[in-house]
Chains A and B, each alone.
Chain A
Amino acid sequence: GQQLNQSPQSMFIQEGEDVSMNCTSSSIFNTWLWYKQDPGEGPVLLIALYKAGELTSNGRLTAQFGITRKDSFLNISASIPSDVGIYFCAGQLLSGNTPLVFGKGTRLSVIA
Chain B
Amino acid sequence: DGGITQSPKYLFRKEGQNVTLSCEQNLNHDAMYWYRQDPGQGLRLIYYSQIVNDFQKGDIAEGYSVSREKKESFPLTVTSAQKNPTAFYLCASSPRVKNSPLHFGNGTRLTVT
Cβ B42 vs Cβ A102 within 8 A: yes
Interfacial chain A residues near B50, Cβ < 8 Å:
97
Q: How far is the CB of B5 from chain A (nearest CB, A)?
A: 11
Interfacial chain A residues near B97, Cβ < 8 Å:
97-99
Which A residues, 42 to 60, have Cβ-Cβ distances below 8 Å to chain B?
42-45, 48, 50
Cβ A44 vs Cβ B104 within 8 A: yes
Cβ A99 vs Cβ B48 within 8 A: yes
User: How many chain-B residues does the 8 Å CB contact rule pick out?
Assistant: 26
User: How many chain-A residues does the 8 Å CB contact rule pick out?
Assistant: 26
Q: Which residues of A approach B to under 8 Å, CB–CB?
A: 1, 6, 9, 30-31, 33, 35, 40-45, 48, 50, 88, 90, 92, 97-100, 102-105
A selection of 27 A-B contacts at a CB cut-off of 8 Å is A1-B45, A1-B58, A1-B59, A9-B40, A30-B99, A31-B99, A41-B107, A42-B4, A42-B105, A42-B107, A43-B43, A43-B104, A45-B101, A48-B101, A88-B43, A97-B50, A97-B97, A97-B98, A98-B97, A99-B48, A99-B58, A102-B42, A102-B43, A103-B42, A104-B40, A104-B42, A105-B42
